[in-house]
Structure 1
Amino acid sequence: MDTRSRVVEVAARLLRESGPAAVTTRGVAEAAGVQAPAIYRLFGDKDGLIEAVAEHVMTSYVAGKAAVVQSARAAGVDPLEDLRAGWDAQIAFGLANPSLFWLLGDPDRVRGSAAARAGRDVLAARVRRVAATGRLKVSERRAGDLIVAAAVGAIQTLLATTADERDPGLAAALYDAVLAQILTDPISADQQSELSVMVAFRAVAPTIDALSAAERQLVVEWLDRAIAARER
């Protein structure tokens, strides 16, 4: 392992175990077995180190989530069960790693993070599997945004409460509330709403091999426009 990787992993461990106060230039240098000037040479300053730690942690976490989603798809796991598993994992991660959650939750950091975008891609893949079943009554994007907003809110609320006073059913109740907003009731094909049909077709349109890439893109653009009009 090179020096940069070792320093980042040590800093991530200190953050996870002892909180932000432990992530000092001197403390990280000592724990990693390097001289303090090496930190400045590699990261510029403490903020640069923190940015590197955030991206490292997020990349590792997202890689694990992506592998789970691929396994679930290959094993034919029900899309709704897979979506729920992702929610539970996100809540558990946030509560188990509060310092990392606050660090990774910085909107400015998330907007510029490749790992954060990859994380949203993992959620999007889960949502698309649900959409393909014809159960979504909103666009995939809105469904994903609602899930993220609810998960972040649940974790923030629970972390703001002492462990012994937390409502153990809060996260589950929020998830159920989100499902009520994004899912249709199980119905027969002839009872599906026009919007849920469009959303389902949007989920599978990019995979239609009989169409050219340009044709698939055109179909997706038309459907996105139609779905957005219905959601206004």
Structure 2
Amino acid sequence: MDLRTRILEAAADLLSRSAEADFSTRAVCEAAGVGAPALYRQFGDKEGLMSAVVDHGFEKYLAGKRAAEASDDPVRDLRDGWDNHVAFALENPNYYRLMYSGLSTPPNAAAEAHSLLLEVLGRCAAAGRLAVAPPVAAQMVMAANAGVALSMITRPALYPDTGFSVRVRESVFAGILAGEPAEPAGGVAATATTLGAQMRKEAPAGLSAAELTLMQEWLERLAD
């Protein structure tokens, strides 16, 4: 095990056992058997170490999401993603609290989680199931998903019912999803969202790059 990994493992162990989702660099150095200069050379400062620890802890969660095969129902995949997100938070509360509320600079794992969510929402849009633009839908889903998870792990006495997450999930999804393709698809906004996603997936022949850019701009305005 190299020096960086040894420090990360020591910090991760201390974090998992902490009641305050925190640790001291001195305790990490003692647990890893290194001096403070070695820790700071690797991570810069305590916040750099904490950010790296969160990325380290989220790696298993993100690896599973990366490896998951897309089903033929992107809406189902979206629901599964919400539920898996909450489940990870409940199983790893200290990592999660740092990820979404304890660091001034979000760790890399936060950006990757957002990117993976956008991929699923793009598939929903291409299937005619999204009523708003994917970036807007991603903001709504992530804010609500993280809010639910943080509420359940920081104030468990107020949120003892796991069905609370499902109720919020369906409320949010009702605001971003269009009906089945055979049903009215949510009007101009949903149609523009769907067409924009399909054009990003496969650009139509006969349009120049400038025309495609202009068309996407118009569709994004209509979707909003």
| TM > 0.5 | yes
Alignment correspondent of 1:90: 85
Gaps of 5+ in 2: none
* 8 A Cα contact 2:86 2:145, kept in partner: yes
1:5 is the counterpart of 2:1:
no
Q: What SS is found at the alignment partner of 2:105?
A: helix
Give the percent of matched residue pairs that are identical in Structure 1 and Structure 2: 34
| 1:143 aligned residue (137, 143, 147) | 137
Change (3 A) 1:14 1:186: same
The TM-score with structure 2 as length reference comes to: 0.84
Shift of 1:209: 5.7
**How many pairs were matched up?**
222
Aligned-partner Cα distance in 2 for 1:177–1:21:
31
Alignment correspondent of 1:132: 126
Change (3 A) 1:165 1:48: closer
Aligned-partner Cα distance in 2 for 1:64–1:213:
39
1:226 is the counterpart of 2:219:
yes
* 8 A Cα contact 1:58 1:104, kept in partner: no
Q: What SS is found at the alignment partner of 2:78?
A: helix
* 8 A Cα contact 1:139 1:228, kept in partner: no
Aligned-partner Cα distance in 2 for 1:182–1:21:
34
Gaps of 5+ in 1: none
Shift of 1:207: 2.6
1:109 is the counterpart of 2:102:
no
The one-letter amino acid paired with 1:169 is G
Aligned-partner Cα distance in 2 for 1:175–1:102:
20
The Cα offsets for residues 184-224 of structure 1, whole Å up to 9 and x where unpaired, read as 222527x4322222211211212326549963x75355334
The Cα offsets for residues 32-78 of structure 1, whole Å up to 9 and x where unpaired, read as 2323442233234333322322333345533332222xx12xxx441
Alignment correspondent of 1:188: 182
The one-letter amino acid paired with 1:138 is V
Shift of 1:125: 0.6
Change (3 A) 1:174 1:35: same
Could you tell which deviates more after superposition, 206-215 or 44-53?
206-215
Aligned-partner Cα distance in 1 for 2:166–2:151:
13
Shift of 1:25: 2.0
Aligned-partner Cα distance in 1 for 2:126–2:21:
46
| 1:80 aligned residue (55, 62, 75) | 75
Q: What SS is found at the alignment partner of 1:109?
A: coil
Alignment correspondent of 1:197: 191
Change (3 A) 1:138 1:44: closer
The Cα offsets for residues 105-161 of structure 1, whole Å up to 9 and x where unpaired, read as 147322xx4432222110001111111110111111111111101111111221232
Shift of 1:15: 0.8
* 8 A Cα contact 1:131 1:203, kept in partner: yes
Alignment correspondent of 2:202: 208
Shift of 1:5: 1.9
* 8 A Cα contact 1:95 1:159, kept in partner: yes
